Each structure stands twice: as structure tokens, then as C-alpha cells.
């Protein structure tokens, strides 16, 4: 079987009506995509299956559809206004723009926090400990220096530690008394003050300043021109800004939502009251979100406009890790058992402690093996009570929950399984893309689960002149299934086209079998055919769906 390349998927998506370049007749718009007739249907099928499995089949789930435009204070409370940005820097030689954090991560093959911790702060801490030892060379005292307390603040912030060959028992009592008291010698006082200033400067450094220092220190060059002539790093907010009312000033600024989750959090109290759900319960939402990505890439993998399918599952604070483990497995089961993705194309990746967001107790990504490598498909995050507390502070409204069983009031913790519908659509296309045979016998088809396939049944009269008997069969089937009718071209070429669209069943009608009130059904994957009575056709197909 031929290895699937991204070009294969892009070409099939365009040629078979799944995805088109947006605004194409006007030269397009970078990273804007339109979903064609079959793409729109397939995307809708995935969404409906997700709602069925996670809402319809659960008595502890409800559905929400919140507004895209929301009060801007919501994004202040959530941290998006102050912290939802990318660090960008320009190459002065070729005038290209790059994400500074990605340049660093590409160099070291690690996440940014780990790089800053290991490559910058650990080295600085080692230097400081050596300088402290020069000032106070005597050992064997357990008394702590005020200087050391300050250093520990730096260690805790960036998860670094003292060099293993040093201990915190260096200094004899006489030296400590001098260090703590007012009778420091001039040399020691000057050295200690200098180290205090050095540690304070390190504590006050912004992340962007550290990134720039590392880029210069590690001789990181522009990936486009190979030069090392960088401008300053500037933060670029990822939210799309617009204005309401007539005037355009700061008082009328609003944002296109960068995620759907906050619409659930701000409606928590309303949902709990009107649905009468008791914790644990969840709220599901499917909707558009917008992020002004600097480097959207790989077709529809990362786009500025996308659809999210998110759940916020509210639970008791002491049961969050238990619920997180359960949701991990439920999400994986949905992908393999309902969507039909291959198990060897998926894997769990638990975030290390230094990767976790400051509010998270646990986060796991389900990754999919795309043609360009493993990439995040579905994130399952334990968000604790961060969001509800943030909105309580900003709105001054009570977001707590009263538990009538235990007679206590608390802020629920939240488990968030979040998947981009558009990215799951792409993964499904890639996983279903199948080629059999070689040369003239080569065949390409989408091995989609019938529940996901955009068209369930294609009705094909062998020749156009018998359309009068074929059209009523189309009408019969379309009462129960999404069908299409086609009477143009050879039957072989029509089969090939429908295979590439992923249609699981083709109904072929010819005069001879019709006289016996039968039609031929052809199966996409095996290409086998069998006769079925017309009166039993709907029932026959329904058992596969």
C-alpha cells in the first residue's frame, strides 16, 4: 500500500469536492478554506456522531450554543487579553517574520520552558553558587543566608537546583554572623550586594528577553536566508479584534472568540439551575473559533478559522484525576470505535510537569500520525477550578455549587476534552485514504465508516434511458439516507468516482433485474456485488448504518 502524502489528500479534497481554497477566483486568502458539498456533509456527520455519543447517550450531559461575540471582560478574566500571544521577531536581512519560541524549540527539540530552565537559568544558578562559595569558602554550618533565600526564589520559579557537588552547609557560623549582621567587611558586603542585584535582575527578566539572549548566544540563524540579523521580539495577540457600534475606539473593541470554552464557563450557573443537573455533569458545545495564527500550516491542520468540539465536565474537586483518566479512554474509544481510526495511528501523550499550564493538574494529548509526523488531535485537560474562580473575581458573581448530598458549597473542578472538528476531519480523510493494486489495476478509495461517509448510497442506472425506473428508487432510498443520482458516463468511471468520495454502497439498476424487482448493490471496499429486492432495499442498507 502506498504511503499517504499530504499532496494526495489536498488533491483528492479539491478534485472530489471536500475542501476548496477560499476566495479562489480572487486569488485566494491565505489559510482560508471552504468545505465543498462532500466535505460539508462529512464534517456534519462527524459532529452529529460526536453529539450522539457524548450528549444523547449520556444523562449527565447537555448541549450549549453560545455567542461568538462576547463581553470583552470575559477575555480579560480568562487571561486571553494579557497572555494569549506569540513572540514574533523579524529578520532584517530578508524581512521574514518568525515565532521566536519556535526557533528555540526547533534548535533544542524541547519545549520552551525546559529550554529556558536548562540552558539559561540552571547555568546562571551554577555561576551564582560558585560566586557564593568564593565569598564564604568555609563549610559545615547549617545556617541559611538571606542571599540563599533569594536564590531559592529563583530556583522555585524556574525549576532549577543547586549543583549536586554543593550543599547548603558551606559556611561556618562566624561567616554567617558577618553576612547577616551589620558588621560585614567591605569586600564581603560589596560582593553580596552584587549577587543580590544579579539574582533580582534574573527574577525580573521577561521571557522574551531570555529568548533573545538564547538566540544570540546559541547563534540561531534565520531559516530562510541563513543570516543572523534579528530585530526585537514583540508579542502578537492571537485574538481577532473588531468593533461594535459606529465608532472605532477602545470603548467599542470586542473580539472573535479564540475558543468556545469560556461560553460554557460564564453560563455555568444558568445551566446548573435550568437543567437541574447535579455534579458531576458536563456541557458540550460545537462552534467556530478564531485565532490569528502567525504560522498556519499543513492544509487544514492549523487554520485561523476552525470549529471546536469541546466538553467542560464539572466534577468534585477531589475526583478530578479519576475523571480525567476516564475521559482519556472515552475519547480514544470514540476515535477507534466510532470514527474508525486505526489504533496504530493514535497514541496518548501525557504532559510532563514542566509542560502543564499553571492551572492544570493533568493534561493528555491524543496524537495522530499525520503524513508530516505525530500531531495533537484531541486534548484532555484537568483545568481545576481556574476558570470559574477567574470569572468570579472579574464579574463579582457567585460561581460556586451547593452540593445537596454532602451539604457543602464548593467551586467544581473541570475536565476539558477538546478536539478541533476540522482537524479530526483531516485525520479521518488521511486514515481512510486507501490505494490498492499497481499500474492499470491501481485503485484509490476512501475507506470511511458508513456513518461518516458524506453520501451513503449512489443510485446508478446502467444507461441513461432507463432513468424513469431508476428515479423512483432514488426517491425511495432518499427518505432514509443521503443519496445521489448519477446517470452520466461509463459505469466503471462512475464507480471509481464514488469510491474516491467514500460512498459505501452503489445501487446499479438494469432493465433485466428490474423486471424481477431486484437491483444490484456494490460494496465499496470489496467491490463485491449482490442482488437485493427493491422492496427490502432500505432495510438492507440500514443494518450497516
The angle, 0 to 180 degrees and rounded to 10, between the axes of the packed helices 146-158 and 122-135 is: 170
Confidence (pLDDT) at 469:
93
- E strands of 387-485, at which residues? 401-403, 408-410, 413-420, 433-436, 443-446, 457-461, 483-485
Distance CA 95, CA 100 (A): 14
Most confident of 143-157, 164-178, 432-446: 432-446
pLDDT digits (tens, 9 = 90+) for 196-211: 788 788 778 888 888 8
CA 374 to chain centroid: 13
Mean pLDDT, range 302-319, rounded to an integer: 96
Distance CA 96, CA 298 (A): 19
Confidence (pLDDT) at 404:
86
Please report, rounded to a whole number, the percentage of residues in the chain having pLDDT higher than 90: 63
Per-residue pLDDT at 139 exceeds 70: no
Per-residue pLDDT at 172 exceeds 50: no
Tell which phi-psi region holds residue 226, choosing left (phi > 0), alpha (psi between -120 and 50) or beta.
left
pLDDT digits (tens, 9 = 90+) for 340-384: 999 999 999 999 887 888 889 999 999 999 999 999 999 999 999
Tell which phi-psi region holds residue 284, choosing left (phi > 0), alpha (psi between -120 and 50) or beta.
beta
Confidence (pLDDT) at 435:
94
Distance CA 75, CA 9 (A): 36
CA 86 to chain centroid: 16
The H or E element spanning position 99 is: strand 97-99
Q: Which three cell numbers stand for residue 247?
A: 465608532
Q: Which three cell numbers stand for residue 434?
A: 486507501
pLDDT digits (tens, 9 = 90+) for 477-525: 999 999 999 999 999 999 999 999 999 999 999 999 999 999 999 999 9
Q: Which residues pair with 21 in a beta bridge?
A: 33
Per-residue pLDDT at 140 exceeds 60: no
Confidence (pLDDT) at 398:
94
Contacting residues for 433 by C-beta, under 8 A, at least 6 apart: 4, 8, 9, 12, 444, 446, 447
The angle, 0 to 180 degrees and rounded to 10, between the axes of the packed helices 186-204 and 146-158 is: 20
Per-residue pLDDT at 175 exceeds 60: no
In Å, what is the CA distance from 253 to each residue of 77, 240, 249, 493, 542? 16, 10, 7, 54, 51
Q: Cβ(83)–Cβ(190) under 8 Å?
A: no
- At 419, give phi and psi (nearest 5°): -135, 140
Reference 447, options 345, 332, 299; nearest CA is 345
Say which residue, 449 or 162, is predicted with more confidence: 449
- Count the alpha carbons within 13 Å of 495 in the hemisphere toward its beta carbon: 16
Confidence (pLDDT) at 100:
87
Confidence of residue 185 (pLDDT cuts 50, 70, 90): low
Say which residue, 29 or 177, is predicted with more confidence: 29
Say which residue, 137 or 400, is predicted with more confidence: 400
Confidence (pLDDT) at 199:
78
List, in order of start, the domains of the chain with CATH numbers. 37-82+243-430 (3.30.930.10), 85-237 (no CATH), 455-542 (3.40.50.800)
Confidence (pLDDT) at 157:
67
Confidence (pLDDT) at 147:
62
Distance CA 345, CA 424 (A): 13
Confidence (pLDDT) at 545:
87
Tell which phi-psi region holds residue 109, choosing left (phi > 0), alpha (psi between -120 and 50) or beta.
left
Confidence (pLDDT) at 189:
66
What integer best gives the mean pLDDT of the chain? 88
Mean pLDDT, range 415-439, rounded to an integer: 95
Q: Cβ(92)–Cβ(229) under 8 Å?
A: yes
The angle, 0 to 180 degrees and rounded to 10, between the axes of the packed helices 207-217 and 100-108 is: 50
Q: Which three cell numbers stand for residue 456?
A: 451513503
pLDDT digits (tens, 9 = 90+) for 374-393: 999 999 999 999 999 999 99
- Count the alpha carbons within 13 Å of 530 in the hemisphere toward its beta carbon: 7
Q: Which three cell numbers stand for residue 261?
A: 470554552
Distance CA 488, CA 377 (A): 39
Reference 47, options 498, 458, 525, 454; nearest CA is 454
Distance CA 40, CA 307 (A): 12
Confidence of residue 5 (pLDDT cuts 50, 70, 90): very high
Amino acid at each position: 500500500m502506498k504511503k499517504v502524502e499530504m499532496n494526495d489528500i489536498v488533491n483528492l479534497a479539491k478534485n472530489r469536492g471536500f475542501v476548496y481554497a477560499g476566495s479562489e477566483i480572487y486569488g485566494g486568502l491565505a489559510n482560508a478554506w471552504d468545505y465543498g458539498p462532500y466535505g460539508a456533509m462529512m464534517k456534519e456527520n462527524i459532529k452529529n456522531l460526536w453529539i450522539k455519543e457524548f450528549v444523547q447517550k449520556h444523562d449527565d450531559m447537555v448541549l450549549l450554543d453560545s455567542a461568538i461575540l462576547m463581553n470583552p471582560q470575559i477575555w480579560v478574566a480568562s487571561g486571553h487579553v494579557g497572555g494569549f500571544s506569540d513572540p514574533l521577531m523579524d529578520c532584517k536581512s530578508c524581512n521574514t517574520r518568525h515565532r521566536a519560541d519556535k526557533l528555540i524549540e526547533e534548535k533544542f527539540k524541547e519545549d520552551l520552558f525546559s529550554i529556558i530552565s536548562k540552558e539559561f537559568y540552571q547555568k546562571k544558578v551554577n555561576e551564582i553558587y560558585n560566586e557564593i562559595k568564593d565569598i564564604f569558602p568555609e563549610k559545615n554550618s547549617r545556617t541559611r543566608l538571606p542571599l540563599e533565600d533569594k536564590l531559592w526564589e529563583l530556583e522555585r520559579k524556574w525549576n532549577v537546583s543547586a549543583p549536586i557537588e554543593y550543599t547548603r552547609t558551606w559556611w561556618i557560623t562566624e561567616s554567617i554572623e558577618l553576612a547577616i549582621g551589620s558588621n560585614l567587611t567591605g569586600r564581603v558586603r560589596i560582593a553580596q550586594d552584587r549577587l543580590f542585584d544579579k539574582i533580582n535582575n534574573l527574577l525580573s527578566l521577561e521571557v522574551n528577553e531570555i529568548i533573545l539572549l538564547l538566540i544570540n548566544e546559541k547563534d540561531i540563524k534565520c531559516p530562510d536566508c541563513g543570516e543572523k540579523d534579528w530585530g526585537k521580539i514583540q508579542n502578537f495577540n492571537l485574538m481577532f479584534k473588531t468593533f461594535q457600534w459606529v465608532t472605532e475606539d477602545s470603548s467599542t473593541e470586542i473580539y472573535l472568540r479564540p475558543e468556545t470554552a469560556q461560553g460554557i464557563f460564564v453560563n455555568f450557573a444558568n445551566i446548573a439551575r435550568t437543567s437541574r443537573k447535579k455534579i458531576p455533569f458536563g456541557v458540550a458545545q460545537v462552534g467556530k473559533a478564531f485565532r490569528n495564527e502567525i504560522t498556519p500550516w499543513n492544509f487544514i491542520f492549523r487554520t485561523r478559522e476552525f470549529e471546536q468540539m469541546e466538553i467542560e465536565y464539572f466534577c468534585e474537586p477531589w475526583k478530578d484525576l479519576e475523571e480525567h483518566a476516564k475521559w482519556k479512554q472515552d475519547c480514544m474509544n470514540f476515535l477507534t470505535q466510532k470514527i474508525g481510526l486505526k489504533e496504530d495511528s493514535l497514541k496518548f501523550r501525557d504532559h510532563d510537569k514542566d509542560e502543564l499550564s499553571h492551572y492544570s493538574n493533568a493534561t493528555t494529548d491524543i496524537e495522530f500520525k499525520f503524513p508530516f509526523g505525530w500531531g495533537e488531535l484531541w486534548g484532555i485537560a484537568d483545568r481545576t477550578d481556574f476558570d470559574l474562580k477567574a470569572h468570579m473575581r472579574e464579574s463579582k458573581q457567585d460561581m460556586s455549587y451547593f452540593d445537596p448530598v454532602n451539604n457543602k458549597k464548593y467551586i467544581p473542578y473541570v475536565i476539558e476534552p477538546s478536539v478541533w472538528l476540522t482537524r479530526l476531519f483531516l485525520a479521518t480523510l488521511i486514515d481512510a485514504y486507501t490505494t490498492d493494486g499497481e499500474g492499470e489495476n491501481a485503485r484509490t478509495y476512501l475507506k470511511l465508516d458508513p456513518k461518516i461517509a458524506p453520501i451513503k448510497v449512489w443510485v446508478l442506472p446502467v444507461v441513461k434511458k432507463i432513468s424513469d425506473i431508476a428515479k423512483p428508487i432514488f426517491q425511495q432510498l432518499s427518505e432514509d439516507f443521503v443519496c445521489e443520482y448519477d446517470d452520466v458516463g461509463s459505469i466503471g468511471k462512475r464507480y471509481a468516482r464514488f469510491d474516491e468520495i467514500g460512498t459505501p454502497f452503489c445501487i446499479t439498476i438494469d432493465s433485466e433485474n428490474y423486471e424481477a424487482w431486484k437491483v444490484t448493490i456494490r460494496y465499496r471496499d470489496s467491490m463485491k456485488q449482490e442482488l437485493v429486492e427493491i422492496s427490502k432495499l432500505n432495510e438492507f442498507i440500514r443494518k450497516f448504518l
